[in-house]
Amino acid sequence: MYIPAPFRNADRETAYALIEEIRLGSIISAAESIEASHLPFMIDREEGQLGRLVGHCARANPQWKSLDGGREVLVTFLGPHTYVSPSWYGTHPRAPTWLYVSVHVRGTSRLVLDSGAMRDMVVRLSKDMDPPSSAWTPESVAPYIDQLLPGIVGFHVDITDIQTQLRLAQQNGPDDRRRVYRALQDGSLSQRLVSQLMERFSFQDRRAAGAEQNSPVVNATQNEE
């Protein structure tokens, strides 16, 4: 992935955290032709040197046939993104741009066909994503899940390279970043989500963002420091 210098982030924990937040990745593989599917992923941080992605797809999806034997695959994760208007800046002339975060994972893939292992994967994903207060549990519908297992195929991707791009206006001066941040705060849901990412990653001094002190994102970041 091409990453201009201001947007590079080499922190592996940041990449893992974004994958866990985004969850839905696009896996790209090739056998006779290039295939791509949008699938939910889990990450095992301690497996191998760089971690392992864990996923599954429908058996009716022909892409699974290109996910075995240690073939190289690419999995991309795209987070919240938004257009930025030149009118938001205080300095001119400016051009339109786009803000986003993305993680690209390269690795080698292998199928998981054992029914017990696939069941564990499905149950784990459900427990990861369903709120603890949910009345539904995988155990409550265990026979139904067992009926569905023949229709899916599990796979692992052992990570060989991971790249993170945080394109969040870091190349701009503090005043222009504040202007972009404030415009996003008043915008659509996706724009507000990008403004939260700016709070986490784009401001060396979070108070320079003009964020409220009770912002949960700012407070969580400060508590980690």
At 101-115, the pLDDT tens digits run 999 999 999 999 999
Per-residue pLDDT reduced to its tens digit, 84-93: 999 999 999 9
According to CATH, where is 2.30.110.10 located in the chain? Answer: 5-167
Give the C-alpha separation, 158 to 44, whole Å: 10
Instruction: Specify the pLDDT at position 100.
Output: 98
Per-residue pLDDT reduced to its tens digit, 9-61: 999 999 999 999 999 999 999 988 999 999 999 999 999 899 999 999 999 99
Would the pLDDT of 225 be above 50? no
Contact 203, 209 (CB under 8 A): yes
Instruction: Specify the pLDDT at position 204.
Output: 57
Backbone angles phi, psi at 2, to 5 degrees: -75, 125
Distances (CA, A) of 197 to 125, 194, 221: 25, 5, 11
Instruction: Specify the pLDDT at position 87.
Output: 98
User: What pTM value is reported for the model?
Assistant: 0.88
Could you tell me which residue, 54 or 214, shows the higher pLDDT? 54
Tell me the three state secondary structure of residue 225: coil
Distances (CA, A) of 7 to 34, 37, 162, 170, 204: 29, 27, 15, 7, 14
Would the pLDDT of 192 be above 50? yes
Whole-number percent of the chain with pLDDT over 90: 84
Per-residue pLDDT reduced to its tens digit, 124-159: 999 999 998 888 899 999 999 999 999 999 999 999
Would the pLDDT of 1 be above 50? yes
The length of the chain, given as a count of residues: 225
Rounded mean pLDDT of 193-205?
89
Would the pLDDT of 220 be above 60? no
Write the Ramachandran bin of 183: left for phi over 0, alpha for psi from -120 to 50, otherwise beta. alpha
Q: How many CB atoms lie within 10 A of CB 89?
A: 21
Backbone angles phi, psi at 85, to 5 degrees: -80, 140
AA letter at 14: T
Percent helix, strand, coil in the chain (nearest 5)? 40, 30, 30
Per-residue pLDDT reduced to its tens digit, 62-81: 999 999 999 999 999 999 99
Instruction: Specify the pLDDT at position 215.
Output: 41
Range 5-167: architecture per CATH: Roll (2.30)
Terminal-residue alpha carbon distance, the chain: 29
Would the pLDDT of 208 be above 90? no
